[in-house]
Structure 1
Amino acid sequence: MQATSTLDQAEAPPAVKSRSFKRAFADVREAWDHRELWGHLGWQDIKQRYRRSVIGPLWITISMGTTALALGLLYSVLLDAELPAFLPYITAGFIIWNFILGCVTEGTDVFIANEGLIKHLPAPITVHVMRMVWRQVLFLAHNLVIYVIVMVIFFSTLSEPYRMTAGGTLQPGISWTILLAIPAFVLLAVNAVWVALLFGVISTRFRDIPPVVNSFINLVFFMTPIVWDADILTKVTKTGEDSQWRVLIAELNPVYHFVEVVRAPLLGHYVDWHHWAVVGGFTVLGWFGALVILRNYRARVSYWV
């Protein structure tokens, strides 16, 4: 009995230590220190996907360009919007949405897909999340080519105050505020990491989560102002009370705020402070939740995969 008690006491400190916020922070910090590893693996993912393709990753750009052009032409007619203002709006929105979509859907599967590396590579589990987010950043970089082309074509319209739809909000036009897109995207990438950590660990334990997320994300797309402008919510109603209720459809959608803080500076739109407040709040709360999950279940991921 005495030997058993001594053994339990000897094993107790490591068990407590493994479930501490210090270990959770260490996992994230060590993953950043391994940036050469996940950076290289992310590049290899891109190269492997288009290994035998003639134009390689340019297919990413072509796919984005054709989708944005087709939807821009269609919805500009349906919503009675000016094409020179609406096509850049849809293009920028789709580029940001594809980044969010990739981080969420691949984030739920990030540890399951890296089962072999997790079991054989002695590295923090956050490394696999960093690799996935970096891969999505590379996809976004390819898609930005379409944004540049569209901006060059319609710069004369976007460089001055303009409205996307008749009676819509007057936007100030592109100016130095376009630089705000840089910190906004950094915030977006930082949030992508905690989303993948949180949903990745939960999905590893409960394998029904990925298909549920994949189904729900389609609904989020249609509820987010990407192929439609938020101004339309106030134009389709006659009374102010109904208008406020409809605006909540967009305002209560957190994805809308993440898209808007990046898209608005790129298009010369005014960015209301509450978008930044919502994004900042989700950043703090999301990372707290991810660190709690990482603290309690980080060591179990290798057994669940």
Structure 2
Amino acid sequence: MSASAPESEALATEVPPVSDSQTLRRAFKDLRDGFAQRELWLSLGWQDIKQRYRRSVIGPFWITIATGVQATAIGILYAALLDIPLDQFLPYVTVGLIVWNLINASIIEGSEVFISNEGLIKQLPSALSVHIYRLVWRQLLFFAHNLVIYVIMVVAFGVWRDLSWASLAAIPAVALLVLNAVWVSIVFGIFATRYRDIAPILSSMTLLLFVLTPIMWTTQSLVAQGGAVADRARIAELNPLYHYLEIVRAPMIGQPQQLYHWYIVLGITVVGWALALVALRKYRARVPYWV
């Protein structure tokens, strides 16, 4: 028997099932599934370091040596130019470079995270976030190696005398940096995969931000000069990376901590993660085709 007219019209107007590939639920699922595969990205991140320094005697400690040499050269030069005691300025520069390396890698390598993992994305059935976690884990290992310089500096320059229980604030500050590194890699990674001009633009921008961020210079030294120079020094407050740097560096070298830096970083973190979730929701399924 054929269906009646009302039944035929109902079948014809029935709405087809909607795919949930572009839903927040799938975005959160990707993040959860990727984290659940931690044995994979922990192993891949460690293999990245071993591969980079294969046949090297001291391995990833070359990063530590390079950072130490750079910090020493900048510290000696700019301490003389800015007329700041070396035992005060060198710890400031050293911790600044250590933290900056983590921030810089999150932006530069994060923008190429999916492009550089094209083979794995097309062949390995895993969550897209696995590659993000792998990148952040690798940079954390480099950060841990560079902390050797910090320990030496704390002893050599007597920084330990200025440290207190408040210095433990550096631990949640680093955790906050890691959270930001994840969303930065997601957002820049997705859009740089679609638009390949974004990666070189970000590379140029980070170079500019390195100069504009108080790493080789201090806002205090400029403010002390007074006048127009002091007013220009406050422009540093418009640089978001300055606030990320301060929440880690200040407690690590025993300097007074300003609460507003935390408020700004927390605000950017919330907005950044909102952007990351939107990007994952809308474009996660397209990344394998873009690479």
Indicate yes or no: 2:243 matched with 1:257. Answer: yes
Unaligned stretches of 5+ residues in structure 2: 1-7
2:157 match: secondary structure: helix
Q: What does 1:1-305 correspond to in 2, within 5 Å?
A: 9-10=15-16, 12-14=17-19, 17-155=20-158, 158-159=159-160, 173-238=162-227, 243=230, 245-305=231-291
TM superposition shift of 1:84: 0.8
Any runs of at least 4 consecutive aligned residues in structure 1 with deviations exceeding 4 A, and if so which? 5-9
Equivalent-residue separation in structure 2 for 1:129 and 1:228 (angstroms): 32
Amino acid of the structure 2 residue aligned with 1:102: A
TM superposition shift of 1:174: 1.5
TM superposition shift of 1:233: 2.8
Unaligned stretches of 5+ residues in structure 1: 161-172
Equivalent-residue separation in structure 2 for 1:230 and 1:278 (angstroms): 18
1:28-85 Cα offsets, whole Å, 9 max, x none, are 1111111111111000000000111122112111111111111111111011011111
Question: What is the aligned partner in structure 1 of residue 4 from structure 2?
Answer: none
| 71 and 6 in structure 1: CA distance in 2 versus 1, 3 angstrom threshold | farther
1:145-197 Cα offsets, whole Å, 9 max, x none, are 01100111011xx355xxxxxxxxxxxx3211111000000000000000000
1:117-147 Cα offsets, whole Å, 9 max, x none, are 0001111111101100110000011111011
| 29 and 152 in structure 1: CA distance in 2 versus 1, 3 angstrom threshold | same
Equivalent-residue separation in structure 1 for 2:137 and 2:164 (angstroms): 29
| 7 and 114 in structure 1: CA distance in 2 versus 1, 3 angstrom threshold | farther
TM-score by length of 1: 0.89
TM superposition shift of 1:247: 3.5
Equivalent-residue separation in structure 2 for 1:248 and 1:21 (angstroms): 39
Q: Is the 8 A contact 2:132 2:182 kept in 1?
A: yes
TM superposition shift of 1:235: 2.2
Q: Is the 8 A contact 1:72 1:83 kept in 2?
A: yes
TM superposition shift of 1:7: 11
TM-score by length of 2: 0.93
| 198 and 95 in structure 1: CA distance in 2 versus 1, 3 angstrom threshold | same
Identity of aligned residues (%): 53
Q: Is the 8 A contact 2:95 2:150 kept in 1?
A: yes
1:191-221 Cα offsets, whole Å, 9 max, x none, are 0000000000000000000000001111000
Q: Is the 8 A contact 1:61 1:146 kept in 2?
A: yes
1:268-289 Cα offsets, whole Å, 9 max, x none, are 0111110000010011000000
Matched residue pairs, number? 282
| 84 and 23 in structure 1: CA distance in 2 versus 1, 3 angstrom threshold | same
Equivalent-residue separation in structure 2 for 1:270 and 1:235 (angstroms): 17
1:202-261 Cα offsets, whole Å, 9 max, x none, are 00000000000001111000000011111123123326xx63x42332101000000100
| 283 and 267 in structure 1: CA distance in 2 versus 1, 3 angstrom threshold | same
Amino acid of the structure 1 residue aligned with 2:134: R
Of stretches 229-238 and 282-291 in structure 1, the one that deviates more from structure 2 is 229-238
